Structure 1
Amino acid sequence: MYCPISLFRFMPRLLAVLLICHWAVAGADETDAGKAIETLLNSGRLPLLARADFSEQRPALARLYGANGNRPLWFGAANPAQNREQALAVLRNAADDGLDPRHYDAERLAEYARQAGSAPADAVAGYDVALTVALLRYADDLHSGRVDPRKLDYPAQLGTLRPQPDLAAVLQRHLHMQSLAKLPAELAPDNEQYRLLKRALADFRRQTPNAAAGLAFARSLHPGDRDAQLPELRRRLRELSLLGSPAAADAGQTGDEYDPATVAAIMQLQDQQGLKADGVIGRQTLALLNQSVPEKIAAIELAMERIRWLPESAGGPHIVVNIPAFQLWAFKDTQDQQPLRMKVIVGKAPENLTPMLAEDMKYLEFMPYWNIPKSIMDKEILPKLEGDEAFLDDQDIELVERFSDDEQAEDIVADLRQGRLRARQRPGAKNPLGRVKFVFPNKADVYLHDTPGKAAFNRDRRDLSHGCVRVAEAEKLAEFVLDGQEGWSLESIRQAMAGPKTQRVSLKKSVPVLFFYATAFVDRDGQPRFYPDIYGYDAALRNALNKLAPENGAQLTSKLNATLGG
C-alpha cells in the first residue's frame, strides 16, 4: 500500500484535531447531562421509575450529585463500569434479604443500562438518577424496614432506636472504593436471628414447592391408628429432617399404621414448636405439617422486616420472648448456643394482647404483692364480691385506702368501683404472680412473672393472660438474671422465693428484655420453626407492605392462604 510521506507528516496534527473534537462532544454531552440532572432533581419526579415521586430521596440526591458537580455517577467513560454492575446486582439480589427486586425497578434499570451507550444525554441523566434513587430506597428499606412500626400502633421505641446511617455518605464511600457489593452486609441488621432467617430463606427458595394436597385426617390421629395418608406423612417428616429414610423391609415405615418411629418424629416436631409432645396429630400439629414452602417464605420475610425495627443486638445477657411461639429465650450473649429456654403464657387474643417492646429489666420482687388493675377489679372481682362478702378474705385480698383519714368506707363495692379504694393480693399460694416478678418499667405496665397455675403450660395454645407474661421456670430465670450479682446464689434465690415477706432486688446491671412477634424463628439448632399468627399481626403487616407495591400492582409478599392453629 502506497502512502505519501506528506500524509505521515500531518498524522499527529490530524489525531490531535480528532481528539479535540471528541473531547468537545463529550464535554457537551456531560454539560447537557448535568443540566438534565439538575432539572430532574428540582422536579422531584421521574417517570422512568414505577414510583415516580422521589421527594424523600431528594436531600441525599442533592448531596451526591452536588459533590460530583451534577455529573452522572454511574454512566459515562469517567465512571467505572464495576460500580454500575455491582449496583444493579445488589438490586437484583434484594430477595436475599426478604425484599422484592420489583420494588426497586431492578429489571427496568438493567434495561436502561443496556440502552445508555446509544442514548442522548438527557436520557442518560434520567437513567443515572433512577439508579441512584432505587439504590437509596433499597438501602433505607434494608436498614430500617419498609413499614414504620408506629403506623401499626406498635410502641414508639420500635423503629427509632437504631442509629440511622447517612446514606448519601455510605453510597459516596462505596462508589469511591468500588465496593458496592458490600452494601447489603453493611446495612442489614447486625442480628444473629436475622442472619439465621436469611440462611433459612435461601434454603426454602431452593426447594421446589410441594404440589401435593394437604393432609386431612377425619379426626385426631393417635399412636397405633391406621390411615392411608401415613406414607405422605412420613415423606413430610423426612423433608423436615425428623425421620430417616425408610428401610424397604420395614413395613412399619411404609404401611398405613401410625407406628412408633413416626410417633417419635411427631413428638420431636411438637417439642420443637413448644406444643404438648404427646404424638397426637391434632389441628395445630396438622397445620404445621401442611404449611407450604411459599407460606414459610412469606413468614420469614415478615420476621426479617420486624427485625429491622429493633435496636442493635445487646452484647451481654438479654431475654427474648417470642409472643406467638409462647417461648422465652435467655441468652448470656449474642453467640450463646445453648440459651435458657422455657414456655410462657402471653396475653389472650384479641382483648388482652401482650405488647411488643424493648426495655431494660431493673429489678426483681420476690414474694410480690399483686396490685389488682381496675379493669380486672371491675370485670372479674367485683361481680364475685357482690355475691360473696367473704370473697376478699378467701383470696387473701386486702384493701388500701385512697381517701383521707376522716372519711369512712361505707360501701366497699362502690368505693372500689369509684376508685376510692384499691385492692392488692397478699403474697402466697393464691397470688397469681407466684413467687417472683421481673420488672422492666414500661408504659403498658407489663412484666414477666411466676404463676401457681402450672397446668396451663401443657396447653398448645397459651394466650391466656391479661397481658403480662407468665414463665414456666421462674427459679431458673431468677438465677439467670442474678448470675454474678454479689450475695445471690441458687440457694438464696430459693430462700427468697419461699420467704414470708416481699423482697425487692435491684439489678447491678440491667438486662435488656425484648417482647417480639415472629411466626418464623430459627432456634440455635439451626432449624426454622413456624408459629400461628395468634394476634393477626402478620396479616396486618402483609397488608401494609402490599399497599407499598409498585404501580404495576405486584404483591410484595407471598400470600398466606392458611394460618397455623386457630
Structure 2
Amino acid sequence: MNTTGLKKLSINVGLMLPVVLFLFFSAQPTATAEETSYPLDAGTAIAALIAGKQNALLTRPDFSNDAELLGNLYQKNNNQLLWLGEKRSKANIDQALAILGNAGSDGLNPNDYDADVLKANLQMALSIPQTAVKELAEFDTALSIALLRFTNDLHHGRVNPQQLSYPTPFGSKTSADMPALIKQALDNLTLSALPQQLQPKFKQYEQLKRVLAAYRKAPAESEYQALVFPKLLRPGDSHPQLAALHQRLIALGALPERAPDGAAEKSYTPTLQEGVKTFQRENGLKADAIIGQETADRLNQSLGQKILQIELAMERLRWLPDDIAGPMIIVNIPAFQLWAFNSPEDTDILNMKVIVGKALKNQTPVLFEEMKYLEFMPYWNIPKNIMDKEILPKLYNDFSYLQSQDIELVQRYASDSAGSWDSVFDDIRRGRVRARQKPGKKNPLGKVKFIFPNKEDVYLHDTSTPSLFSRSRRDFSHGCVRVAEAEKLAEFVLTNQPESTWDVTAIQEAMSGSKTRRVTLKKPIPVLFFYSTSFVDRDNRIHFYRDIYEQDAALEKALGKISGSGSSELLTAKTTSSS
C-alpha cells in the first residue's frame, strides 16, 4: 500500500496515526513522486488543511463550524505551527491535553474533544521531523480544533437555547475572542488557567462543579441495592432493608457517616426519619418521613441520573450573561422557589415559595426581563382563553356568576347587538368585550402584582389561595408566578429604588386600600425565570427537583443530537400566556 493509501485509511480511523507515521519514517529515503507533492512549508500545509475543513485525526473530522476561528488562530502565529513548530513547548501541549482530558469536571465529555486520541498519538507526533510538514500540520491543527471546541462549549454552551424555544436573552453572551485568548495563553505558558477564565462566573456554577466532582467519586452504582417498599413506610414500622436505607442516606449526604444505626433497632427510628426528611427536602418532596412511591423512586435514582441533572444545570448556566449582578429576582421554576438579592455576594437573600404554571398545560416560560412597575390592589384582566374555557361555561349555567365573583365586562369595540344574554355571550366570544375582576378577596392576583412586560404576558403576583403553598409540588397557575410573601417582595423592590419613600407601613397601607395604585420604578429590576432541576443552596447542599416540564429530557435529546446519537427533531418547550 502506498503513502496515499495509508492516508485514506487514516481519514477513517484517527487512531491509525502511529502506524502511518511508523511506516512513513521506515520508508526509503529516496523521494517518490507522491512525497515531492507534499506542501513545501508548514504555512501552506496549514492553509490547505483549513481550506479543506477536514482533519482525519478527529472523531468529528468536519470542522466547518470552527474553520474561521482556526484560521484566525493561526494568523496570529504568522500561519506557522502552534504546538509542533521549532519553538515547540511540551509544557503547552501537556497543559492543552490536560484541559481536554479534564473536561468532565465542567460537565462536558472529554471524548468530544478527542482527549484520548490526541494523547495516544502525542509521542509519535513529537518525533515528526520539521520537514514532514503535512503530518505536523495535521496533528497541530487537530489539537487546536479540539481546544477551540472545548473553550467554545465551556463559555457559550453546546446547545443554542433558541433551538429549545428560549427567548433571545439566553445565549446572547458577549463572544470571547477565543483565538486571541489561546494565543496569549500559549505565549505566557498559562494555558491551564484558561478554563477558569472562560467558565460561567456564577457561584452556583462553582458549587455544582464541586458537587459533580464528589458524585463522580461516589461508590459505583453496582454497590447499591434497590430499596423496595410494597406499602408506605411510616415512623415506627419495621422493614427488612433498614440497614440498606441507613447506608443509602449516608451515601446521599442525608445522614452523617457517624449517625446511630437505626437498623439495629429493627424499626423505622427517629434517626432514619430525620435522614429521610432531609432527603425529601433536598428533592423537593414533602418532608414527612413517610416513604411512598415518589420518595422510593428518588432513593433508587441512579448516580448517573443525578450526574446528568447536574451537567444539564451547568449547561444552562452557560447561556446566561456573565454580568448578572443585582438587585435581581430569580425564580427557579421546577424548584418552586424565588430568590431576591442586592448582589450575588449578599448574605441576606430573600427566599420564598412560589406557585408556577401547571405542567404540561400552562407552563411558566423561561424569560429574562426588567420589572418596570407594580400595582397594589390590582384588577385581574381575565385572558380570553380562560374566559372561554373556564368562565363562560359557568356563566351559561348561572347568569349571576359574574356578579358573585366581582367580575365586570368592559366594552372594547362597538357592538351592533341588542342587550340580551345571547348578545353578551356573542360579544365575549368575538372579543368585543373583555372581563376583569375587581380588587378584593376574590381576586386571584391578591393585593399586588409585579410587572415586567413580556410577550408571554406573565408576571409575579400575590394570591387569594395561600393554602396551596403548603404543597410540595406547586404547579397550579395558568402561567404567572404566585409568590408566598408578596409584602416582603414589594419591600425588596421598592426599597431598592433611588430616593424611595416606601417603607413597610406605606406598603401595608397600599395593600389594604380599596383603590388600584400603580408605582413606576425609577430603576428597573432584572427578573429571571430559570429552569434547573438541580441546585446547590447556601449551605452547599445539593437539591434535585422533578422535571415537571420535561425540559431536561429536551436538552438531553439536543445534546445527544450534537453527539450524533439522535436524528429526530429537537423537542421544544412550549409556553402558555395567562395568569
TM-score by length of 1: 0.88
1:36 equivalent in alignment to 2:45: yes
Q: How many Å separate the matches in 2 of 1:338 and 1:200?
A: 24
1:259 aligned residue: 269
More divergent stretch after superposition (66-75 vs 145-154): 66-75
Q: Distance in 1 between matches of 2:43 and 2:147?
A: 20
Moved more, 95-104 or 460-469: 460-469
Show the counterpart of 2:318.
308
2: CA distance, partners of 1:217 / 1:415: 56
Check the 8 A contact 1:409/1:415 in 2, yes or no: no
CA 323–536 in structure 1, closer or farther in 2 if over 3 Å, else same = same
1:417 aligns with 2:429: yes
List aligned pairs for 1:530-541, cutoff 5 A: 530-541=544-555
Query: Deviations 1:279-315 (Å, cap 9, x if unpaired)?
Result: 2222332233222221111100000001111122522
CA contact (8 A) 2:161 2:170 kept: yes
2:574 paired residue number: none
Count the aligned residue pairs. 522
Contact 2:74 2:82 in 1 (8 A): yes
Answer yes or no: is the 8 Å Cα contact 2:461–2:486 preserved in 1.
Answer: yes
Structure 2: distance between partners of 1:309 and 1:51: 24
Structure 2: how far apart are the matches of 1:203 and 1:274? Answer: 21
Q: Who is 1:332 aligned against?
A: 342
Q: One-letter code of the match for 1:439?
A: I
Equivalent-residue separation in structure 2 for 1:435 and 1:549 (angstroms):
50
Q: Does 1:389 align with 2:399?
A: yes
Amino acid corresponding to residue 140 of structure 1 in structure 2: N
Aligned 1:338-349 pairs, distance under 5 A: 338-349=348-359
Q: Does 1:520 align with 2:520?
A: no
Matched, 1:117 2:131: no
What is the match of residue 97 of structure 2? 88
CA contact (8 A) 2:442 2:464 kept: yes
Code of the residue aligned with 2:462 in structure 1: it is: D
Alignment of 1:97-108 (within 5 A): 97-108=106-117
Aligned pair in 2 of structure 1 residues 440, 215: CA closer, same or farther (>3 Å)?
A: same
| Corresponding residue of 1:56 | 65
* Aligned residues with identical type, % of pairs: 52
The aligned residue for residue 466 of structure 2 is 454
Q: 2:106–2:154: 8 Å Cα contact kept in structure 1?
A: yes
Shift of 1:144: 0.5
Alignment of 1:434-513 (within 5 A): 434-485=446-497, 486-513=500-527
Q: 2:289 aligns with which of 273, 276, 279?
A: 279
Where do residues 68-217 of structure 1 align in structure 2 (5 Å cutoff)? 68-119=77-128, 120-160=132-172, 162-211=173-222, 212-217=224-229
Asked if 1 retains the 8 angstrom alpha-carbon contact of 2:441 and 2:464, the reply is yes
Q: Does 1:375 align with 2:389?
A: no
Deviation at 1:267, TM superposition (A): 2.6
- Please say if residues 50 and 550 of structure 1, whose CA atoms lie closer than 8 Å, have aligned partners that are also in contact: no
Specify the code of the residue in structure 2 equivalent to 1:315. Answer: A
Deviations 1:492-532 (A, max 9, x none): 11111111011111223222111111111101110111111
Distance in structure 2 (CA, Å) of the matches to 1:284 and 1:498: 41
Equivalent pair of 1:247/1:253 in contact (CA under 8 Å): no
Residues 408, 200 of structure 1: alpha-carbon distance in 2 compared, 3 angstrom cutoff: same
Q: Tell me if the contact between 1:221 and 1:281 (Cα under 8 Å) persists in the aligned partners.
A: yes
Please list, as runs of the form range in 1=range in 2, the aligned pairs for 1:538-549 lying within 5 A after superposition.
Answer: 538-549=552-563
- For residues 7-26 of structure 1, the C-alpha deviation after alignment (integer angstroms, 9 at most, x for no partner) is xxxxxxxxxxxxxxxxxxxx
Q: Is the 8 A contact 1:352 1:465 kept in 2?
A: yes
Residue 538 of structure 1: SS of its match in structure 2?
Answer: helix
Q: How far apart, CA to CA, are the structure 2 residues paired with 1:273 and 1:109? A: 40
Q: Evaluate the alpha carbon distance shift between residue 290 and residue 390 of structure 1 in structure 2; reply closer, same or farther with a 3 A threshold.
A: same
- Rounded to whole Å, the distance in 1 between the matches of 2:53 and 2:494 is 56
SS in 2 for 1:298: helix
- Which amino acid letter does the alignment assign opposite residue 227 of structure 1? H
Q: What is the distance in 2 between the residues matched to 1:455 and 1:231?
A: 37
Cα shift readout 1:474-504 (whole Å, capped 9, x = no counterpart): 1121122222442211121111111101111
Deviation (angstroms), 1:253: 5.3
Instruction: State how far apart, in whole Å, the 2-side matches of 1:406 and 1:446 are.
Output: 33
Q: Note the C-alpha offset of 1:365.
A: 1.0
Q: Flag structure 1 segments of 5+ consecutive residues without an equivalent.
A: 1-27, 554-566
Distance 2:110 2:258 in 1: 41
Task: Give the Cα separation in 2 of the matches to 1:247 and 1:298.
Answer: 29
Q: What is the letter of the counterpart of residue 536 of structure 1?
A: E
Q: TM-score, normalised by structure 2?
A: 0.86
1:330 partner SS: strand
Query: Counterpart amino acid of 1:416?
Result: I
Q: Is the 8 A contact 2:207 2:540 kept in 1?
A: yes
Match of 1:482, SS state, is helix
Match of 1:561 in 2: none
Instruction: Output one character per residue of 1:19-39: Cα deviation in whole Å (capped at 9) or x when no partner.
Output: xxxxxxxxx999532221111
Aligned-partner Cα distance in 1 for 2:185–2:403: 70
User: Is 1:219 equivalent to 2:231 in the alignment?
Assistant: yes
Rounded to whole Å, the distance in 2 between the matches of 1:484 and 1:130 is 52
Give the distance between the partners of 2:523 and 2:294, measured in 1 at CA.
40
Structure 2: where are the runs of 5+ without partners? 1-36, 567-579
Which letter does structure 1 place at the counterpart of 2:442?
A: K
